[in-house]
Amino acid sequence: MQTTQQKDTVKLTITMPRDIRQALESEVPKRQRSAFIAQAVKEALGKTAETDFLAMLKSVEPVSATEDSVETLRKIRAERTVRS
């Protein structure tokens, strides 16, 4: 019987450096390699998304502590309306 994970999989052909393939074959049992590669890709994509999010946060201009938060939100919304 197939698990949900098996039903949602696709076959994929990839190319990688020979030394990485050799390391993969020596470290990961044959029947676990697809899951290992899938998890590695998932983690790498998560790190990329996290890096992009942190970069976006760094690009946001700091708000003056003396400015009222309601007024700040009004300015932000007004800027978005002008851009649209």
Is 90 exceeded by the pLDDT of residue 20? yes
* The residue type at 84: S
Domain that holds residue 43: 23-60
Residue 39 lies in a domain: yes
Residue 42 pLDDT level (bands cut at 50, 70, 90): very high
**pTM score, whole prediction:** 0.56
Chain centre to alpha carbon of residue 28: 24
* The pLDDT of residue 2: 53
In-domain check, residue 7: no
In a domain, 11, yes or no: no
Residue 4 in domain? no
Q: What is the mean pLDDT of residues 16-24?
A: 96
Residue 82 lies in a domain: no
- Would you say residue 69 lies in a domain? no
Q: How many domains does the structure of the chain reveal?
A: 1
